[in-house]
Amino acid sequence: MLVTGAAGFIGSHVVDRLLADGHLVVGVDNFDPFYARAIKERNLEGPRAHPRFRFCEGDLRDGAFLRRLFAEACPEAVIHMAARAGVRPSIEQPHEYYDLNVMGTVRLLEAMREAGVGALVFGSSSSVYGVRTDDRPFLEEDVADLPVSPYAATKRAGELLCHTYHHLHGLSCLCLRLFTVYGPRQRPDLAIHKFTRALAHGEPVSVYGDGGALRDYTYVDDTVDGVCRALELVLERSGGPVFDILNIGAGRTTSVNELVRLLVEKMGVEPGIEHLRLQPGDVPCTWADIRRARAVLGYDPQVPLERGLERFVAWFRQEDERARRS
């Protein structure tokens, strides 16, 4: 199996799961400088020690690199998790996001076509739904063509490209709209990580708006389970090539204020909270309707938010202590 974005938060967990399930895994990452390379290298420490893992550093926009990679790795399927992440930064650097996320995906799809690799799981995003005002979970059939950030637009473009290659070239592909993933190794710029770091270091917690924004926080192990179930389906191909778009979330929402309260409880500290103005590109709610993923994949998230936060806080404290000692 080939995993792109293998050194990232979700990608490294996918690699761990595939290795645990007995697969041979080739990981690819370009160590994009969006955050520190050392963090990503740390994510790969476990896989690098595994005899069934091989890592290749390279850029998906480099066609020659991809041709060599596919010729040498001969993957059965690709799990495409590589992307320049982040809604807010994409507003400042739209060209970078287009180049990395759209052109990188096109290059990858072309390399798969040329190499005859016909199975793909694509990591999309709940951000494609844009701003929703109705009080119900998001359905895959809902309008997803009104993005409010360049990042969201690149993810929707990726879905459309995947469908194009399914239609033209028989690619089996599942596009997974991932909802607010958290857990150990979470990127340092994301809310749960930032809030925990602030609480641990006695700094104020910065909350955008009044804290009433709702998010469907999904523990990374549940996300990865959805990815691996999708992989099984695209590999099956018994009825011919498949294409689908599925929500992978927890199916419940929590306000930012409630999230902060839970973290304060886990950390055992008194917080200072500063409220900042809402940011362009942010949405008031993410909320996954996961009935279709249950029906198609047997997806069934297992980790409630409180338990997931306990695991994250335990990991954070371990990493924070390690950083202090180094």
What are the structural domains of the chain? Answer: 2-325 (3.40.50.720)
Three-state DSSP class for 313? Answer: helix
Catalytic residue among 97, 129, 151, 219: 151
> pLDDT at residue 8 above 80?
yes
Q: Is 97 a catalytic residue?
A: no
Q: Summarize pLDDT for 77-90 with one digit per residue, the tens.
A: 999 999 999 999 99
> pLDDT at residue 95 above 80?
yes
With CA atoms as reference, report the closest residue to 235 among 82, 79, 104: 79
Angle ∠(81,152,212) on CA atoms, nearest 5: 110
Question: Are the C-beta atoms of 222 and 178 separated by less than 8 Å?
Answer: no
> pLDDT at residue 325 above 90?
no
Question: Are the C-beta atoms of 227 and 233 separated by less than 8 Å?
Answer: no
> pLDDT at residue 99 above 80?
yes
pLDDT, residue 322, reads 86
pLDDT, residue 80, reads 99
Q: What is the rounded radius of gyration, in angstroms, for the C-alpha atoms of the chain? A: 19
Task: Between 322 and 259, name the one with better pLDDT.
Answer: 259
Q: Sign of the C-alpha dihedral, residues 290, 223, 177, 278?
A: positive
- CA 171, CA 118: separation in Å to the nearest integer? 5
Residue 154, amino acid: T
